[in-house]
Chains A and B, each alone.
Chain A
Amino acid sequence: MAVESRVRLEPLWRVRARLFLRSFRRNWALFWESRIGPLGLGIILLFVLMMVAHPILMATVWDPRVYDPIVGFDPDLVGKHPAPPSPAHPLGTDPIGRDVLSQLMWSTRSEFALGVTAALITVTIGTLIGAVCAYFGGIVDAIFMRIADLVMLFPFIALLMVLRSVIHLDLVRLALVMGVFSGFGGITLTLKAQALTVKVKPYIEAAKVAGGSAFHIIRRHIIPNILPLSFLYMMFSVTGAVFTEAVLSYFGLLDIRMSWGIMIHTAESAGYLGAFGQYWWLWAPPGVAITLLCFAFYLVGRGLETLVNPRLRKR
């Protein structure tokens, strides 16, 4: 009796929260068990820390005229740039006298913004199309699948190299283009396949019989069930976006003022790249940062895979 009344009193949101918490705990345990997932997450947190620290440092200890990542310049070291690491510049300065650490930290923000925006757009489009195609099939499915075929014919980096002369590719537009383009690509196939397995579940039939609209069924039943997989692909998309930006910047093909790729490009075009050990602070920090961030998101993705695909679990 008492138990019953307690249940009745508890509002729905709390039940939901409790259920969510429980499933989160279970999933977290699984994620933790993958070991590589948490490793990736740790690295990502490190980058977040760097991102957050930059404006704080700029506001407190770093003089903007010296440490500005784009037009900063250390007049005390004239003639010595690129200067090796010193207490004032823990990662040295670049060929035109800017602080490498400041550039590295400042760029983290744009890498995150770019990667996450692009991945979000990709996954949103991919999930919607995947769900819609799976639910309706027929002509809708055929159209989107042909589009996906078409998109998959284009080598992505090669395509962006052309697009950059058509549109002025700054960070935001690059994220948009990358997101939309990959959203219509191969990801729809995977998500559609997943949605198809959901579609044949008995509860979908039940919802249909109960008079649920297509929109309602897609929104309440199909999408929630493919979301974990979408989330997983989001991680891989972040890796793809960050990598693509870095390659294009490295080739000097983007109109971005500063990024990790640009840092390496600057070192290269000024002729310091091949000296390897001698000027390591010019290429190693951005190079390692690009690799590590891509690596970290990929690992998180791999870690999430065990949640999404029970067959990959240990037991």
Chain B
Amino acid sequence: MLRFLAGRLAQILVTFFLFLTVVFLLFQAMPGDYTKQFIMNPKIPPEARKALQERLGLTGSVWDQYVHYIRNVFTGNLGVSFQHYPREVWDIIKERLPRTAVLFLVADLVAFALGFPLGKHIAWRRGRLSDYAVTVTGVLFYTVFTPLLAIVLLYVFSNVLGWFRSGGFLTPSLWLRPPVPPQTVFLLLTATVAGLLALWGGGFLVTRGIGHPRPRAWARRALVLLGLALAAGAWWQSGLGPYAWDIVWHMVLPVLAVTLISFGGTMLLMRDSMLEVIREDYITTARAKGLPDKVVRDRHAARTALLPTVTNFTIGLGFIVSGGIVTETMFSWKGMGLTYLEAVLQQDFPLAMGCLIFTGILVLLLHLVVDVLYAFLDPRISY
């Protein structure tokens, strides 16, 4: 196992290095540079432009710039943003990442929680009308033109019903004198979601010991409720409740949009994996033993089918930046995706590269996680 991990890490390093090089070359190939924007103001003399280029590190040979850049990345320095000169890229990512993280973590979890059981059910009811109806609906949402969905949601829930604001992640009037900055609240929210997840997972493992299905189910439900109550209580006690609530309120529409788009993927994958598993001998055996359908489905089939679904889910988490570009634009949610879009449009190379590098690292790490997950979850694989 350790040898496997070491080998994998070495591979990851090589891939990452190549990735950095490609990113660098890509941005080198972009014509012009940030200082080109000064062409729009003839009063800026060429000397001033030269000075700025020097300050932004745009002079020197390509090789020098490359060495400089690689050294910087490996020492954790992503450079200084052009647009927000002289703010550090890392500082900007730190500011915006929590916003994107909470949004997509919640949306992906909800989508998973929706897609997983749905996929399980329709696989079991294969060929019935409900199977077709749910599949077609899932595919439709999965392939819907995202901006269109966002417009419809905004129109219905914000314009007609007036339940939500038309964008942004907080209500300015509430946040004029906040006790803590929104970043803190975003981080705490992420922690809450993670905590609830951990509680649920832990509870799931602990309650496995309970023999009877019914008390087990009750115990699990009680645990979930307890977790929710605890979280709500803690937020209330901290005095940050209204602030968190404001952010959660603003999250509803984007989360809904992302959920609708992505639950189909999970659902269809789950359905297919289930169908494949159902053909396995041990399922036939379990049925032959006269076990109830529900037990075979949930305890035998679904668990095996879970693996590819979880893999897909985990890897999908890595693409929150690109996925965020559309969603975040439509809902005025200034997170990583929008930051990247703006940086590219403004030719703010360090910031755009920083976003890409960050995504790259995230995806690589998640791939590693998936490998380890496989090792743990699939008894057939050993390293």
Contacts and interface: CB of A to CB of B under 8 A. Distances in A.
A161 B155 contact: no
Contact of B143 (A35, A251, A298): A298
Interface string B12-34: 00110011001000110111000
B359 interface: yes
Contacts of B344: 158, 161-162, 165
Contacts, number: 128
A291 B26 contact: no
Nearest to B319: A155
Interface stretch (B45-53, B186-194, B320-328, B374-382): B320-328
Interface string B151-166: 1001100010000000
Nearest to B143: A294
Given A153-B364, A158-B321, A291-B140, A146 B27 contact: no
A243 B145 contact: yes
A302 interface: yes
Interface size band for B = 35 or more
Interface size band for A = 35 or more
B145 A158 contact: no
A36 B145 contact: no
Contacts of A36: 132, 135-136, 139
Contacts of A159: 26
Tell me which of B142, B147, B159 has the highest count of chain A C-beta atoms within 10 A of its own C-beta: B147
B207 interface: no
Tell me which of A35, A154, A288 has the highest count of chain B C-beta atoms within 10 A of its own C-beta: A154
Contacts of A39: 136
B275 interface: yes
A39 B19 CA distance: 41
Tell me which of A39, A153, A247, A283 has the highest count of chain B C-beta atoms within 10 A of its own C-beta: A153
Nearest to B142: A298
Contacts of B26: 159, 162-163, 166
A84 interface: no
A157 interface: yes
Given A36-B135, A162-B26, A287 B322 contact: no
A174 B119 CA distance: 35
A219 to B, nearest CB: 30
A129 B27 CA distance: 28
Nearest to A250: B147
A285 B275 CA distance: 37
B363 interface: yes
A299 B140 CA distance: 9
Interface in A25-50: 35-36, 39
Given A153-B359, A247-B146, A295 B30 contact: no
A158 B340 contact: yes
Interface string B313-353: 00000010111011001000000000011001101000010
Given A273-B151, A287-B148, A290-B145, A299 B29 contact: no
A276 interface: yes
A156 interface: yes
Contacts of B319: 155
A274 interface: yes
B371 interface: no
B276 A158 contact: no
Contacts of B18: 146, 150
Contacts of B355: 158
B117 interface: no
B220 to A, nearest CB: 32
Interface string A264-304: 10000000011010000001000110110011001100100
Given A299-B139, A309-B272, A312-B272, 12 more contacts: A149-B11, A154-B22, A155-B319, A155-B359, A156-B322, A158-B325, A161-B345, A276-B155, A291-B148, A295-B139, A314-B126, A314-B127
18 contacts: A36-B135, A36-B136, A149-B15, A153-B363, A153-B364, A154-B19, A158-B359, A161-B341, A161-B345, A162-B27, A162-B352, A247-B146, A250-B147, A251-B329, A274-B154, A287-B148, A288-B148, A291-B144
